[in-house]
Amino acid sequence: MTKISVFILSIFLVFSCNKEVSQEEKKSQLKELKSDLVILKNAINKLESEISMDNPETNKNKVAVRLIEIQEKRFLHYIEQPGKLNSKENILVSSEILARVNKNIPEEGDRVQKGQIVFELDSDIMKGTLEELKLSRDFSKTTFERQEKLWAQKIGSELLYLQLKNQYETLNKKVEVLEKKIAKLFIKAPITGTIEALYLKVGELASPGSPAFRIANIEHVFVEADVPERYANILVKGSPVKINFKSLSLSKEAPLSFIGQIINPENNTFKIKIELENEQGKLKPNGIASLEILDYSNEKAHLVPSKVVKKDMRGNYVFLNRTGKCEKKYIEVGLSQGDISHIVQGLEVGDQVIVSGYNDVVSGSLLEITE
């Protein structure tokens, strides 16, 4: 008889023979018995396991499996969305007046500076008219100034003085207006950039509202995307975004720079933008991008391969190793990223999840642990 068995028997005899045992002594003895019971159970389980391991018939029925041990790991989840590249400076320029093209200075693909002339329109008629107006204005100015000196001495008619003054000011205003119109005969680049397209040729008529040329500066670009409404209160400005340009074999990471506040009723989406530097010009407007936007992170997540999660009528479950036997464990699955799933509830640190051979086991199967 083992020591523990003798001890238990002695306690039993004490309880049987001595009815004068105090309440405190009973509690103390109960605590000791429970402690010994745990030791007994562990010893029994160990012996059963050893016996089972030594039994050739048992070994034949074992299923070879591979395990991973649950640990607290970092988990990041991303929303995947298609996006489109745009330039912050991509401008379609038109003529402000109706006139014929005399000259185009840069060619398509040329880089120009802000204010540089791209098209010169026919200005001969306006220039001739301007010279005539200037002569008339100068003569009117001289006449007015003479009359002004006389009127200062109270010589002559006030009405004549006022008429000459009005005539001079009117001609001067006409000269200013015409000079501004002539300035508009030179269609200039509104920004520093590259001429993407010329829509007019020498001899053609430029008119207001019709495009003359397109100019773009792609040093600063942004990716724009439409995101489903359900993420409207999840995304945060400044969240990291992975941007993949598959056709260019290029990827970047940048913060989310803009979150739209208006839902498009046609497709229930809202706009987001990510600004990018493009000094080398590798990124082209209207190019396609694939976005991965961070929407959830957990530094102490319990993670398993998504493939090991099974489902029945009761819910999702995985198989665990419990001292060489398979145990079916029901779990609550959270978000998945790639082939990894976040287990929200049901697993603890140290649990051993079966990740290979899980299709060959059932609850209670004997396991042969492999590396």
pLDDT tens per residue across span 98-135: 888 898 889 998 999 999 999 998 877 777 887 888 88
Contact (CB, 8 A) for 315 and 330: yes
**Using 50, 70 and 90 to split pLDDT, how confident is the model at 339?**
very high
Contact (CB, 8 A) for 83 and 288: yes
pLDDT, residue 5, reads 54
Query: Residue 234: phi, psi to the nearest 5?
Result: -105, -45
Q: Which amino acid is at 335?
A: L
Closest CA to 4 of 23, 30, 32: 32
CA 188 to chain centre: 37
DSSP secondary structure, 42-100, as one string: HHHHHHHHHHHHH-HHHHHT-EEEEEEE--EEEEEEEEEEEEEEEEEEEEEEEBSS-EE
pLDDT, residue 268, reads 93
Q: Which helix (H) or strand (E) holds 40?
A: helix 23-54
CA separation (Å) from 353 to 8, 10, 49, 90, 365? 38, 44, 20, 55, 14
pLDDT, residue 51, reads 61
pLDDT, residue 27, reads 77
Residue 142 above 60 pLDDT? Answer: yes
> Judging by beta carbons within 10 Å of its beta carbon (0-12, 13-18, 19+), is residue 366 exposed, middle or buried?
middle
Count the neighbouring beta carbons within 10 Å of the beta carbon of residue 293: 23
pLDDT digits (tens, 9 = 90+) for 186-198: 899 999 999 999 9
d(CA 74, CA 259): 26
pLDDT, residue 12, reads 53
Residue 317 above 70 pLDDT? Answer: yes
Contact (CB, 8 A) for 44 and 274: no
pTM for this one? Answer: 0.58
d(CA 242, CA 128): 61
What is the Cα gyration radius of the chain? 44
Residue 34 above 80 pLDDT? Answer: no
Q: Using alpha carbons only, what angle is made at residue 237 by residues 236 and 240, rounded to the nearest 5 degrees? A: 85
How large is the average pLDDT for residues 239-247? 90
How large is the average pLDDT for residues 125-146? 84
pLDDT, residue 60, reads 62
Least confident of 79-88, 121-130, 180-189: 121-130
Q: Which amino acid is at 12?
A: F
**Using 50, 70 and 90 to split pLDDT, how confident is the model at 256?**
very high
Least confident of 22-26, 65-69, 257-261: 22-26
